[in-house]
Amino acid sequence: MHIKAVICKNAELKVEELPEVEPAKGQAVLDVLRCGICGSDLHVRHHCEHMGNMYSSLGYKNFASVDEPLVFGHEFCGEVLDYGPSTKGKFKPGTRVCALPLRRQGKDVDMIGFSSRSHGAYAERIVADESMMVRVPNGLSADMAALTEPMAVGWHAVRRAEVRKKDVSIVIGCGPVGLAVICMLKASGVQIVVAADFSAGRRKMAEQCGADVVINPAEESPYSNWEGHGFIDSLAVFLDKVVDIQETFAKLPIPWWHTWRLAEKLGFSPNRPVIFECVGVPGLVNQIMSSAPLGSRIVVAGLCMETDSIEPVIGIFKEIDIRFVMGYTPLEYRDTLHMIAEGKVNCAPMITGVVGLEGVDNAFTVLGDPEKHAKILIDPKSTHVEPVSA
């Protein structure tokens, strides 16, 4: 017995046969129903070596190398077929599940879809650790369930950002990461979500995913209406405000520092937006820092793979708060799946097509056009080479 899979080797994608999957201790075999094509798959196809070096410097040595056959696919939903030894079998065969893309491999842990030892779900079948599996609730479709992984990335970014419902959130870049952030911001009740992208297609998707204000940065700055939200956008205004407050407090009959301390205790502080950088190109963080109001929080979710530079003095004078985000916890993954299944996450507009294994190479090409595509899913049982609607 063999399985069909899309193999990436020396940056080429080909459908080939692999030996049938064999579940090891603690593992289950899944029949792959859907698997999302991720931007990182597109990147790794051509920059495997660079990614491997990055991971290696972080202490992760099992990243695939360019001449090893690699099967991508870490955003998957499948049906339980069988179990290996030392498993509990808690989900009966036929149960629809998602699984976190991590797999025990002896003493190591492999990232499924980025290690040549642990092939991903661009394949008919895959093995997953039983402990990583989550049942798909509410009869949720495989298409929507396959969005769990990328949406969990958005959910983690929103949680790490500690956004309050009244905070204005600005999402720069409406690719899959930006769209996931928009969906999860709205799912968590944030009232004003501003989205910016140069592509009209992407702006339309941002609107469909729930963005309240959608901006074309070629025509209008995503930061232009900030005075309307009470943000402080220049150092001169800030200094004026400080002296203003101090003068007002000094006129009061009690010592000004008591009033100041009380105001702090009551939580009076200038409004500031939370800005999500979801593009990942050099220069963007600095550009946001330069245009952002004082005290802004910038959450960096775009995966910039090049060396970048910033002007620290801008960040210092504005007291910009920068947070980098990566991945999600198992709890965030599980909660994301449940939020999607409960209809709280408006992520369906992100799915722009479904292809079979034979259509993956073409899908990688068409994903280069932001006007048309955001997330293409693979259905290993389909024969479609051109993406069809889900």
Q: Where along the sequence are the contacts to Zn ion (CB under 5 A)?
A: 38
Closer Cβ to Zn ion, 133 or 151, answer by number: 151
Instruction: Give the shortest CB-198-to-Zn ion separation in angstroms.
Output: 23
Closer Cβ to Zn ion, 100 or 171, answer by number: 100
Instruction: Give the shortest CB-39-to-Zn ion separation in angstroms.
Output: 7
Instruction: Give the shortest CB-243-to-Zn ion separation in angstroms.
Output: 49
Instruction: Give the shortest CB-152-to-Zn ion separation in angstroms.
Output: 10
**Minimal CB distance residue for Zn ion:** 38
Q: Closest Cα partner for 170 from 205, 217, 204?
A: 217
Instruction: Give the shortest CB-336-to-Zn ion separation in angstroms.
Output: 13
Closer Cβ to Zn ion, 38 or 132, answer by number: 38
Closer Cβ to Zn ion, 168 or 180, answer by number: 180
Q: Closest Cα partner for 106 from 50, 153, 62?
A: 62
347 vs 135, 145, 198, 254, CA distance in Å?
A: 19, 11, 21, 54
Report the distance separating Cα 97 and Cα 132, nearest Å: 10
Closer Cβ to Zn ion, 28 or 38, answer by number: 38
Closer Cβ to Zn ion, 111 or 163, answer by number: 111
Instruction: Give the shortest CB-20-to-Zn ion separation in angstroms.
Output: 26
Report the distance separating Cα 298 and Cα 169, nearest Å: 10
Residue holding tokens 């407090």?
249
Q: By the 8 A CB rule, do 176 and 170 touch? A: no
Report the distance separating Cα 329 and Cα 338, nearest Å: 14
State the helix-helix crossing angle for 148-161 and 330-341, rounded to 10 degrees: 110
The answer for residues whose C-beta is within 8 angstroms of residue 321's C-beta and 6 or more apart is 295, 296, 297, 298
Instruction: Give the shortest CB-291-to-Zn ion separation in angstroms.
Output: 29
Closer Cβ to Zn ion, 38 or 140, answer by number: 38
Count other Cβ atoms within 10 Å, centred on residue 230.
Answer: 11
CA of residue 20 relative to chain centroid, distance: 32
Q: At 370, list the tokens.
A: 């932001």
